[in-house]
Amino acid sequence: MKVHVDLDTCCGHGRCYALCPEVFGEDDEGYPLVSEEVIEAKQEARVRRAAANCPEAAITLVENGE
């Protein structure tokens, strides 16, 4: 699975890095920095949870093979 954050849509609420700091970092202005674009299997559930909780639907997940 790969993850992408649309920074044009993101408003910097920070739920993604609060829920999954292993994958989502934070820049100086509170916007997310994706540290690993390709997600390890053990992190997928947390990344899915972060994406589901993004108020702006700014996180896109691409499943393997798509």
Contact between 10 and ligand SF4 by CB under 6 A: the answer reads: yes
Pairing of strands 59-62, 32-34: unpaired
* 20 binds ligand SF4, rule: CB under 6 A: no
CB closer to ligand SF4 out of 18 and 65: 18
- Residue 45 makes contact with ligand SF4 by CB under 6 A: no
Q: Looking at residue 48, what DSSP letter applies?
A: H
Q: What element of type H or E holds 15?
A: helix 15-19
Which DSSP symbol is given to 16? H
Q: Which residues bind ligand SF4 (CB under 6 A)?
A: 5, 10-16, 32, 54-56, 58-59
